[in-house]
Amino acid sequence: MAFAYELNKKSVTLLADTDLEDYQYYAVKLNSDGEVVLASDANDDCFGVLQDEPAAAGRPCEVAVEGITKAIGGAAINAGAKVEVGAGGKFVTYTTGPLAGIAITSCGDDEEQFSLMIDRDATSK
């Protein structure tokens, strides 16, 4: 497993739309009610990274929206690479989807943790 760390992270607390217990450090988005759901499609905008494990709908959950956070990769990612949301809310190397951030540490394989600097600024592309 690669080394992953967090630094200068800013988070918000919102309600989970569903059970997200198995998705700590995965990409999340907001539904039309402002509740947190898994960003599970490759072209989903990333609102942030889930920081805890809410086990049911309606439970509060912490979402990192700025800074450096731990994240889960969906494949190998090099340090310094731009990343986007991939299948199942995991992060992958950027191709054409909305930008989610920049990998600070590398990720060697599927479901491995790495450090992600959250950066959704479209001008960074």
Residue ranges of E strands in the chain:
7-15, 27-30, 36-38, 48-50, 60-72, 82-85, 91-93, 99-103, 113-118
Same domain, 75 and 99: yes
Shortest CA distance to 104 belongs to which of 68, 73, 63? 68
What's the rounded Cα separation, in Å, for the pair 109 and 25?
A: 15
Quick check: 58 and 48 in contact, CB under 8 A?
Answer: no
pLDDT tier at 123 (50, 70, 90 boundaries)? very low
Amino acid residing at 67: G
In a domain, 106, yes or no: yes
Task: Enter the tokens of residue 9.
Answer: 């992270």
Last residue of a domain, one of 48, 66, 84: 66
In a domain, 4, yes or no: no
Same domain, 17 and 62: yes
In a domain, 38, yes or no: yes
pTM of the model: 0.92
Residue environment code for 3-41, b if the CB has 16+ CB neighbours within 10 A, otherwise e? ebebeebebeebebbbebeebbbbbbbbeeeebbbbbbe
* Residue range(s) defining the domain that contains residue 79: 68-124
pLDDT 10s digits, 66-122: 999 999 999 999 999 999 999 999 999 999 889 999 999 999 989 999 999 998 774
pLDDT 10s digits, 23-80: 999 999 999 999 999 998 878 999 999 999 999 999 999 999 999 999 999 999 999 9
Same domain, 62 and 103: no
